Amino acid sequence: MPTSICLMPSDALFCRALQWKTALFALVTLALVLTAPVHATEIEYGSPDQSVWTTKLNERGEPDNPLLSLANVLFAKANIPWHGKTYPAARLFKYLQDGTTQFSMLVKAPTLQACCLWSKNPVTAAEIRVYRLGNTVPVKTLEEMIGKNVITIRGYSYGGLRTFIADEKNRIQNNDSPSHAAAFRMLTSGRADYLIDYAGPAAEVLVSDPAVGIRSDLLLRQDVHLVLSKSYPDAATVMARLENIAASLDIPAILKAHGK
């Protein structure tokens, strides 16, 4: 409104009314902005297409990852929309690095330290065990694996353990298997003395196809953390919120109830 409208005394009442109206409009607008619901940016939870947790597949033919149940509870309580998607491990790491995928739950990896935030505490752990026939000497440490004849499942890095196995100075004879079930058949047929596998998939194989006399020993326990891309809006605050929620949950019960 031009200021000349308020120059005459007769216009004073009108001007004061106009000023009050303008101030009221500004306050209402501010209140609407402050009380409007916040719509969080949807998060993509990316997970490897070769699971360390299970051999089971969902209706889409992807690993039936029990961590999806944990993600569902976490994001529901945080009021963040999300969806899950699986990728080959190398592509998943690339997508976390460039922000295409914003979230995962993984063992700490040096290649993701610069691009991502990691929860201070793990949410669960993956066990790598060494399976053997009953009369075979146990292997419980990396040093005890030196010079041994072992079986591994193709496609797993075992959190860096494969590098140790491939190192020539460790004199480890490695036999690659295309699947968990095939690996146990190789073990029972005497192709090698030891099978290195993740506890979850191995337990499922032994339930569906029991093998007599197989024992196992814990080799490594790898902590699994929440991972959030730094490119996600207000990433540090969101990670802190997810950590607080995770700390309040009975995570073992959530994972155990998955698919039931």
Domains and CATH numbers, the chain: 43-123+224-257 (3.40.190.10), 125-222 (3.40.190.10)
From CA 15, how far away is CA 12, in angstroms rounded?
5
**pLDDT (0 to 100) of residue 32:** 37
Task: Give pLDDT tens digits for 100-142.
Answer: 999 999 999 999 999 999 999 999 999 999 999 988 999 999 9
The neighbouring-strand residues paired with 44 are: 83
Is 0.95 surpassed by the pTM of this model? no
Q: What is the pLDDT of residue 242?
A: 97
pLDDT at 60: 85
Task: Mark the ranges of the chain whose per-residue pLDDT is less than 50.
Answer: 1-9, 14-15, 18, 25-38
Quote the CA–CA distance of 144 and 199 in Å, as a whole number: 19
pLDDT of residue 22: 55
- The pLDDT value given to residue 16: 57
